[in-house]
Homo-oligomer: A and B are copies of this chain.
Amino acid sequence: MKLDEAKEKFIQAWGTLGSNWGISRTMAQVHALLLVSPEPLSAEDVMEQLQISRGNANLNLRALIDWGLVQKELRPGERKEFFAAEKDIWKVFRQVVKERRKRELEPMLEVLQTLSKVEGDRRDREVKAFTDSVDGIYKFAGKADKTLEKLIRADENWFLGSVIKLLK
């Protein structure tokens, strides 16, 4: 397989993966493109290689920066901005975990806490089913939150080493 064909396939596959996980296809494709580029790319480069508009390129590059997956690079004497993705996939993974924890898990914990204060007789089947379910999820989410916090703090080797070893 030729490089260009392989690149194209990779970009497609990464885009599909992204859209399965609630990330827009194009954002994942921009990420994929930067992942396999040896040099940082300009917005123009991204537009050309993915055949997308300027506005779209800008939007998705900014979103990737928000997620902490891409960084701007300025070159002395050049006005144009260049963009480079973090290449270490372990770091990428940890960063995504970190962001999703902040954006989704923590807000969910607050909602669950609120919901556990529902009024009503615990002997009521409806009430009991509800509180049991919410309590179970709340406990699970709390444990997940703590676990992920440790994971984020843990260094690469720790994750590569200990967890894998533990699980074997």
Contact = CB atoms under 8 A, between A and B. Distances in A.
A126 B10 contact: no
B88 A1 contact: no
Contacts of A108: 13, 17
| Copies of this protein chain in the complex | 2
Q: Considering the complex of A and B, which 5 residue pairs feature the smallest CB-CB distances, nearest first?
A: A38-B129, A150-B167, A6-B118, A38-B125, A22-B22
Interface of A: 1-3, 6-7, 9-10, 13, 17, 19-22, 35-39, 87-90, 93, 100, 103-104, 108, 111-112, 114-115, 117-120, 124-130, 132-134, 136-137, 140, 143, 146-147, 150-151, 160, 162-164, 166-168
Contacts of A132: 87
Contact of A36 (B13, B120, B129, B166): B129
Contact of A133 (B36, B93, B104, B163): B36
B134 A10 contact: yes
Contact of A38 (B111, B119, B128, B162): B128
